[in-house]
Structure 1
Amino acid sequence: MTDLEPAAAAASPPRPQEWAWTTVGTSIGPLGLAATPKGLLNVVFRAGDAEAAEAVDGLTRRMGTGPAGGPCAARAVLDQASAELTDYFAGRRETFSVPLDWSLISGFNRRVLRELAAGVPYGTVVSYQDLADRVGERGAARAVGTAMGSNPLPVVVPCHRVIESNGGLGGFGSGLEIKRSLLSLEGVLPEPLF
C-alpha cells in the first residue's frame, strides 16, 4: 500500500443513495423533510427557500446524488411523514410511526437519540442528566446536550422534550421560541401569550 492510497480512498465520492425532499407548512414555520426508502432521514426547521436550498445542497453532497424528482420509494416515506407531522401540529397525533433512517448520526449521539425517541413520550420531559443516566453515561449531561444539537430528526425524535435538571428550558439550536411552542403544543408549558 502506498501513501497515496488512503488519501484517494478518503477523497472518493459517497455511494449515491436514493432520497427525496419536501417541505411541509406548520404552525412553527416550514419544515423541510428528507427521506430514503429506509425511512425519514432529516427534518429541517425554518425551511424557507434559501434554507431549503442549503439543506438540499448539504444532503446532496452527503448522499452522493440530488433528490429524486419523480416517483420513488422514498416518496412514500415522505408522504407518511408529512401526514403524521400535519396531524401532530393539529393536535391529532402524539406518536410517530414513520420509519426512521438513522444514517446521519452514529455512536453516542445515536444511542442517546434512540433512547429519547423510545423512552420520552408526548407531554413529558426529561433532563439532560437523566437521559445520560438512561444510556449508562453518568455525568454526560453536556454530551447529551451536544447530541440534541446534532439531532437530524427534530420533532419526530423529540429533542424539545429535554430540559435542564432545575426545570429550565436549556438550549435549542433552532431557537427557544420553537422549543416553547412544541412544549406548549404537548401541554407541558402554558400557551405563550405573544
Structure 2
Amino acid sequence: MMGGSCRLGLWHVHVWWSGDTIYRVRFASTGISGPVPAPILKYCAGHAVDLSGLKTVACEGECVSARIYQAVREVPYGSTATYGEIAAQIGTSPRAVGRAMAHNPTPLVVPCHRIVAANGIGGFSPALEIKELLLALEQKGKKASRK
C-alpha cells in the first residue's frame, strides 16, 4: 500500500491506496511525502474529474453504510443531494446517512461533501470550510468544463 498527500487550498489531502483501490482519505494541516493517484491530484487542482474509476473499500459489502456510500457515489460532480434524498433512495433514515457521512473512510472518492441538509450545508469533518471549498471548487470546475 502507498500513501502520500497533495494540496487542497490550505489543507493537505492524505491518501492511502494500492492500484485503483483507495483505502483511506483524510484532510490534515500538514502533508506527508509520497504519491497520490493522478485523478485525485487533478481533482484537487480544480479540474472536473470523475473519480468513479477509483474503487473504495467503503462500498464493499451489503451493510447499510456501504449502500449509502454507493448511492452517494452516484451524485454527479458539481451537484448536491440531501441526506433525506439519499435516505429515501436506499430505504433508511437521514440520520443514518449523516452517521455514514461522518464515518466515511474515503471522502472525495465517496463525495460526502455533496450531501447537504434540507435547510443548509450540513456538517463536515474535520472542518466545514473544507466542504465549502470542495463545493466551490466543483462549481468552478463544472463551469470551466462547459467552455
Q: In angstroms, what is the RMSD of aligned CA positions? A: 2.5
Q: Distance in 2 between matches of 1:133 and 1:103?
A: 18
Matched, 1:27 2:9: yes
Structure 1 unaligned regions, length at least 5: 1-18, 53-74, 189-194
Which of 34, 48, 69 does residue 113 from structure 1 map onto?
Answer: 69
Report the AA paired with residue 114 of structure 1: Q
Contact 1:172–1:179 (CA<8 Å) still a contact in 2? yes
Q: Per-residue displacement from partner, 1:146-176 (whole Å, max 9, x unpaired)?
A: 000010110121100111112x011111211
Q: What's 2:128 paired with?
A: 176
Q: Distance in 2 between matches of 1:22 and 1:132?
A: 33
Provide the TM-score with structure 2 as the length reference.
0.82
Report the AA paired with residue 130 of structure 1: E
Matched, 1:40 2:22: yes
Provide the TM-score with structure 1 as the length reference.
0.63
* Matches for 1:147-186 after TM superposition, within 5 Å: 147-166=100-119, 168-186=120-138
Q: Distance in 2 between matches of 1:182 and 1:150?
A: 18
Deviation at 1:37, TM superposition (A): 4.5
Change (3 A) 1:103 1:20: farther
Which of 40, 47, 57 does residue 85 from structure 1 map onto?
Answer: 40
Q: What's 1:5 paired with?
A: none
Q: Distance in 2 between matches of 1:24 and 1:90?
A: 9
Q: Distance in 2 between matches of 1:104 and 1:46?
A: 26
Contact 2:124–2:131 (CA<8 Å) still a contact in 1? yes
If you compute each CA radius of gyration, which structure gives the higher value, 1 or 2?
A: 1
Q: Which runs of 4+ in 1 moved over 6 A?
A: 103-106
Q: Distance in 1 between matches of 2:18 and 2:62?
A: 17
Identity %: 30
Contact 2:6–2:44 (CA<8 Å) still a contact in 1? no
Report the AA paired with residue 110 of structure 1: A
Q: State the number of aligned residues.
A: 138
Structure 2 unaligned regions, length at least 5: 141-147
- Greater fraction strand: 2
Which of 64, 72, 91 does residue 136 from structure 1 map onto?
Answer: 91
- Larger RCO, structures 1/2 (Cα 8 Å, 6+ apart): 2
